[in-house]
Chains A and B, each alone.
Chain A
Amino acid sequence: MLDLAVAYNRYKFLGYEFLTWLWFIVEQNQDIIGSLEEEPASLAVGDLIILKNKLDNNEAETVTIKGDDADLEEAKLALRKGAVVTELNLTYYSDDYQWRFTIKGESLNITGIHLPATGSAESKEDIEGVVIEKAFLYEKSFNLIDALFKQFINIRITSRWENSVVPLIKKWLHL
């Protein structure tokens, strides 16, 4: 394996592209998400998208689209101008449950994860139950993210990416 510090910086673009692809399939191809889950499931773009654009003078411009009624057209415009998606907030629905979280592109770190409600912990026995319940809920959302990333990488390393997926993403950006 490559030196990890080198690999982190050299391939962080894969994380940015993963978020762009994720946003694209959320809007255009929810079937992919449904096919990864046994229960009915879907993803929706949440209340935050952060994009970064490298300017000619080597400085970076950050575009933050925030709020429940955020205008995603501005984010698409930034993408058309060469920006990358650095953070994407998502809402994940599975059965009657709902998760909210933000994925950071360069690290794949998960921030601000809000799980479905669990029981409260008032005694030591309660704590163990709540920990197991929360761990299950964390794992469920991580499994979805992993399955989607795996799918992305499996497309990204083939010619299908350049020949088929990128033209579709460009078309979607210009809709």
Chain B
Amino acid sequence: MGLLSSTSSVTRYQVEGKFEKSVLESVEYGLKRYTFKEVDDDISEKIVGWTSFDNPFNPNFEGHAFSIGTYLVFSMRIDKKAIPSKLIKKYYTLEEAKLLAKSGRQYLSREEKKSVKDEVINFLSSRIPATPYVYDLIWNYEKSTLWFFSNMRAANEELEILFSNSFKLILVRLFPYTTADLAVNLSQAERDTLLKLSPTKFME
């Protein structure tokens, strides 16, 4: 459900802060520094980075290809490995049995169990391919607005961290309070009133 899909979900942000140098150069620098990198045989459960919105499996930010009209358009890619718990249990049980047979003991210590489990997870992680998830975004630098094409909490949290690391700017999610505070141009007295509001009862 991305930018070009027929149906999308959008989380809106206000971008706090401005670049001191050229916008396009600064964005290109941040995107290249945190470009999504494919790693063969990587055991990480999750890899996050920026990618091109029109070519998510071969990112290219040369020539400011992310600049379209007055917008900056690119995507965040998250590759995640999901190892089924039953698979972990199977390999753990086999490995545990081997170790017990070898040592002649009946039980493993807590530390040994943890170590076996970590080894199993690392072993399986290196063999199971990660599933790619791509999330598009449109950033209007002049208006300090950003639309992220996902409402998934985990993806939004990854975006906020990656964006801050890449561009040294802060994303403020626009929910009722922040929209009222940032987008409605309230006076200080009106802000104070807003803070004191409590829910209305429409009931009989």
Contacts and interface: CB of A to CB of B under 8 A. Distances in A.
A131 B68 contact: yes
Interface of B: 3-4, 6-12, 54, 68-69, 71, 73, 138, 147, 151, 172-181, 183-184, 186, 190, 193-195, 197-204
Main secondary structure of the interface of A (DSSP, over half): helix
A8 interface: yes
Nearest to B9: A111
Contacts, number: 130
Nearest to A141: B10
25 contacts: A7-B175, A7-B178, A14-B176, A14-B180, A16-B199, A104-B151, A107-B151, A109-B9, A109-B151, A111-B9, A112-B8, A113-B9, A113-B10, A124-B54, A128-B68, A128-B69, A131-B3, A131-B138, A132-B68, A134-B3, A135-B71, A142-B12, A150-B183, A166-B200, A174-B204
A13 to B, nearest CB: 4
Interface in A74-115: 79-82, 84, 104-114
Contacts of B194: 153, 157
- Interface size classification for chain A: 35 or more
Please name the 9 residue pairs, one residue from A and one from B, whose CB atoms are nearest each other, closest first.
A11-B177, A14-B176, A15-B176, A7-B177, A13-B199, A82-B203, A111-B9, A157-B193, A132-B69
Contact of B201 (A82, A121, A135, A138): A82
Main secondary structure of the interface of B (DSSP, over half): mixed
A81 B204 contact: yes
A166 to B, nearest CB: 6
B200 A132 contact: no
A79 B199 CA distance: 13
Contact of A81 (B8, B180, B203): B203
Nearest to B147: A138
A152 B131 CA distance: 43
Nearest to B201: A82
